[in-house]
Chain A
Amino acid sequence: MTNITPQIKPKESRRSKFLKNVKEAKKKVTISKEQKLKLKQQKEAYQEFKYQPEEKTLEDKFAQFKEILTSQSAEIYECYENQINEKLEEILKEKPYGQDLLIGKNNKINSPKNSAINFIEVESFEKNKENYNLNCALTTAFAAASETGTLFLNSGCENPTWLNYLATCHIVLLDKNSLCQTYEEAFAKGKKEAGLSNKPFPPRSINMISGPSRTADIEQTLTLGAHGPIELIIIVYTSEREV
């Protein structure tokens, strides 16, 4: 899948020693008939299990999503799909970060020319190494799970992972219809979409993001902006037709 062949090959001797140790340890385990039956039952229960909390309507999911993320100090805005650009202009005007906005290639926004915002399409991180203290960056979530207010983002050229972490202010676009209730649903959605566009699943990275970066390492006091974004802004859009 990748064109670079790693130079370090794992050593066979270590591999066989490792597996031999495991095998020998396993041999030592004697399982009684009773235990065997219990193991079988456990396995069946394991395979049958499905996490199914009470199902929510889209509006309920959205309310939960919004409530949790707001409590985590994220900001959430709603708009129609054709108003995203204006919404962005509006938001950036309020913020102290200037008008530059870093985005991946072939992004959803399509970098409108007549915008007050200066869209900068980035490629590799290497090329941007010089000014790593980015102000604002925008990426797109392929799904979200309302259960904990979590965004799901794929890596890829339209969504470089480093944009999610290096910007002081991270803006995420989310289609309201991609809002799921559970993690399982969100992953299933990702898998399906990868299949439809003939991409391998999982991609190099899937990032689950549930708020701005934080730490409590200084005397257990919660502080935002540890290494990643200090602000997380989510724009939830709906296509005009449906409204």
Chain B
Amino acid sequence: MSNQTFEKQVNQTLLLKDASLSKSASSFNERAHAALLDDKLQQALSVIPSGFVGKRTKAKAALPEFSELSDQAVRIKNHTLANIEAYLEQFEAAVQRSGGQLHFAPEPQDALDIIDEICTTKDAKLIAKGKTMVGEEIGLTHFLEDKGYETVETDLGEYLIQLRDEMPSHIIAPAVHLTRENIRKDFLKTHKNLAKDRKLETPGDFVQEARHILREKFINADIGITGANFLIAETGTSIIVTNEGNGDLCQSLPKTHIVIASLEKLVPTLEDTTVLLRLLARSATGQSISTYTTFATGPKREEDTSGPEEFHIVLLDNGRSKMLGSEFAEMLRCIRCGACLNHCPVYQNLGGHAYGTVYPGPMGSVLSPHYFGERAKDLPFASSFCGRCNEVCPMQIPLTKLMRKLREKPLTKRTLFAKTSMFAWSQLAKRPRLYNLTMKAVLPCLSIAAEQNWLMNKVPGVKAWQKHRTLPTIAKTSFQDAWNLNCKKDSSQENTRVKKEGQGK
């Protein structure tokens, strides 16, 4: 399948999923509107600022060496990316040395085909899947389901949204948009074998039920698929970080373990990962470390009594190599911690689905246009450019700078209205006299109109804008006029002072 057909296929599945959010929303703006009007979603989102943001601040403060480690983390990734070819080869050799297989996948379809081939050869029926953003990126679960494998998401959040056939709305907490009420309905519908009148109230009840259901899947899975937070070139190791332990069950019980990861996950040594690990959990959930961090190298060893017999790593490119040689290379440092999402005012208000791709928030606004092309073209505009994302990013990625660069790209086509208004504005701004005159005429009218809301709503664009925001009061005079007036006052005061002093002498 060519890449274009692949894209079409993905677009179709994703559009289908989007439909659960809003029937026909296909642009960011439309989806954003739908999200703002969704009370349940707003209620669910309200926990993000208090939860993630506060915890991260505390965790960061508790580690005095945080910024020193962040500097080193940037150097690690820059160094790896600058020498990526050498590290790729070293990694491949190391994976083979430990008895595993490394499969290169230039395009998403390659990755899907490789995984399908392994599953077919193993005569797999049941696949247990850990959380993987790269897997989400290529639509892995849907693909495997379509091929007839029973594929179970085992991360609780991912499982919850699999039941609803939705996209994750957050890269760390995929089901952050769901309330207990949502989940209750889904559980009652799906887990038919359990008593209908069972107690499903506290979070503990839900967790216990999911544990019970999913355990059976782990035990019987033929294949376990996990993602990777980091890959170590020196040893051929893949690393996963979880709090639930689901990834570990995926990679220790089934006979075959497949890792799906992308090329920028590489770091040179084991010691490098320790630096990154210290930043990851603190930035992501505000924990000092996630409960489980696991290093997997090759299949089980001869003397081991348990563990997978086969170990495959599928390494995806999908547009990353192109970024490597572009002005967006810095984005490849991203460790998917989600801090930029949690701190983004746009994300906090809309949640992840409005972005329409699996990578939401500021990081997604830079990544998605590269991975998904046309479908994500309006995402660089989904930002207020407040710059909090730049500040909290442990990998020091200049997210707003990269978004600005993307806005300049021809990929992001402007509407005729935007073009003409921009043109008119630029003409005006270039002529100070004309500008001042216009302002003198327009401002008093606007400020009167602003007092009368109905009048203001007649001004083009304002009504839509006001739907979810309040318009600040508009000053009667322009800043420049006020400035000039003040200067005049000042200088006349100055003059009188000088005069008085002169007289005193």
CB nearest to B277 among chain A residues: A183
Q: Which residues of B contact A164 (CB under 8 A)?
A: 248
CA distance A123 to B292 in the complex (A): 23
CA distance A108 to B406 in the complex (A): 59
A53, A187, A216, A227: which contacts B65 (Cβ < 8 A)? Answer: A53
B252 and A187 form a contact (CB under 8 A): no
CB nearest to A222 among chain B residues: B203
Q: B390 on the interface (CB 8 Å rule)?
A: no
Q: A243 on the interface (CB 8 Å rule)?
A: no
A165 and B249 form a contact (CB under 8 A): yes
A213 and B289 form a contact (CB under 8 A): no
Minimum C-beta distance from B497 to chain A (A): 52
Most chain A CB within 10 A, of B235, B300, B301, B326, is at B300
**A215 and B156 in contact (CB under 8 A), knowing A26-B84, A26-B324, A150-B289?**
yes
A213 and B291 form a contact (CB under 8 A): yes
**A204 and B299 in contact (CB under 8 A), knowing A160-B305, A218-B207?**
yes
Q: Mark B305-327, 1 if CB is under 8 A from A, else 0.
A: 11101101001010001111110
Q: B229 on the interface (CB 8 Å rule)?
A: no
CA distance A18 to B203 in the complex (A): 45
B289 and A187 form a contact (CB under 8 A): no
B65, B173, B245: which contacts A228 (Cβ < 8 A)? Answer: B245
Chain B residues numbered 187-227 whose CB sits less than 8 Å from any CB in chain A: 203-204, 206-208, 210-211, 214-215, 218-219
A6 and B315 form a contact (CB under 8 A): no
A2 and B301 form a contact (CB under 8 A): yes
Chain A residues numbered 45-86 whose CB sits less than 8 Å from any CB in chain B: 45-46, 49, 51, 53, 68, 72
Minimum C-beta distance from A172 to chain B (A): 13
Q: B93 on the interface (CB 8 Å rule)?
A: no
**A28 and B325 in contact (CB under 8 A), knowing A132-B219, A220-B173?**
yes
A51, A184, A203: which contacts B297 (Cβ < 8 A)? Answer: A203
Q: Which residues of B contact A9 (CB under 8 A)?
A: 101
**A165 and B117 in contact (CB under 8 A), knowing A6-B101, A202-B237?**
no
Q: A14 on the interface (CB 8 Å rule)?
A: yes
A209 and B292 form a contact (CB under 8 A): yes
A2 and B292 form a contact (CB under 8 A): no
Q: Mark B168-188, 1 if CB is under 8 A from A, else 0.
A: 000001111011100100000
Q: B368 on the interface (CB 8 Å rule)?
A: no
Q: B428 on the interface (CB 8 Å rule)?
A: no
Q: Which residues of B contact A177 (CB under 8 A)?
A: none
CA distance A150 to B278 in the complex (A): 12
CA distance A148 to B281 in the complex (A): 11
Q: Which residues of A contact B155 (CB under 8 A)?
A: 217
B183, B211, B237, B297: which contacts A225 (Cβ < 8 A)? Answer: B211
Q: B148 on the interface (CB 8 Å rule)?
A: no
Q: B452 on the interface (CB 8 Å rule)?
A: no
A202 and B297 form a contact (CB under 8 A): yes
CB nearest to B316 among chain A residues: A18
Interface SS of chain A: helix, strand, loop or mixed? loop
Q: Mark A1-44, 1 if CB is under 8 A from B, else 0.
A: 11110111111001101110111111111000000000100110
CA distance A23 to B339 in the complex (A): 32
Q: A114 on the interface (CB 8 Å rule)?
A: no
Q: Mark B238-257, 1 if CB is under 8 A from A, else 0.
A: 00000111101101110000
B65, B235, B309, B321: which contacts A202 (Cβ < 8 A)? Answer: B235
Chain B residues numbered 243-293 whose CB sits less than 8 Å from any CB in chain A: 243-246, 248-249, 251-253, 263, 270-271, 274-275, 277-278, 285, 288-293
B106, B179, B329: which contacts A219 (Cβ < 8 A)? Answer: B179
Q: B160 on the interface (CB 8 Å rule)?
A: yes
Chain A residues numbered 167-200 whose CB sits less than 8 Å from any CB in chain B: 182-184, 187, 200
CA distance A59 to B64 in the complex (A): 22
CB nearest to B104 among chain A residues: A18
Q: B110 on the interface (CB 8 Å rule)?
A: yes
CB nearest to A46 among chain B residues: B75
CA distance A17 to B114 in the complex (A): 15
A8 and B121 form a contact (CB under 8 A): yes
B300 and A204 form a contact (CB under 8 A): yes
Q: A155 on the interface (CB 8 Å rule)?
A: yes
Q: Which residues of A contact B206 (CB under 8 A)?
A: 218
B156 and A226 form a contact (CB under 8 A): yes
A148 and B98 form a contact (CB under 8 A): no
**A183 and B274 in contact (CB under 8 A), knowing A28-B325, A226-B207?**
yes
CA distance A216 to B44 in the complex (A): 13
B101 and A8 form a contact (CB under 8 A): yes
19 contacts between A and B (CB under 8 A): A2-B299, A19-B104, A26-B325, A43-B75, A51-B69, A122-B305, A123-B305, A148-B289, A157-B304, A160-B306, A165-B252, A183-B278, A184-B271, A213-B291, A215-B156, A225-B211, A226-B243, A226-B244, A228-B291
| Chain B interface residues (CB < 8 Å from chain A) | 44, 47, 51, 64-65, 69, 72, 75-76, 78-79, 82, 84-85, 88, 97-99, 101-106, 110, 114, 117-118, 121, 154-157, 160, 173-176, 178-180, 183, 203-204, 206-208, 210-211, 214-215, 218-219, 235, 237, 243-246, 248-249, 251-253, 263, 270-271, 274-275, 277-278, 285, 288-307, 309-310, 312, 315, 317, 321-326, 329
| Chain A interface residues (CB < 8 Å from chain B) | 1-4, 6-11, 14-15, 17-19, 21-29, 39, 42-43, 45-46, 49, 51, 53, 68, 72, 104-105, 122-126, 129, 132-133, 147-148, 150, 155-157, 160-162, 164-166, 182-184, 187, 200, 202-221, 223, 225-229
Inter-chain pairs besides A123-B306, A223-B207, 20 sampled, C-beta below 8 Å: A1-B301, A6-B310, A10-B102, A10-B103, A14-B114, A15-B104, A22-B85, A26-B325, A43-B79, A164-B248, A165-B252, A202-B295, A202-B297, A203-B301, A210-B291, A213-B244, A215-B244, A216-B173, A220-B51, A227-B245
| 7 pairs of A and B residues whose beta carbons are closest in the complex | A228-B245, A25-B325, A226-B244, A28-B325, A18-B104, A218-B203, A46-B75
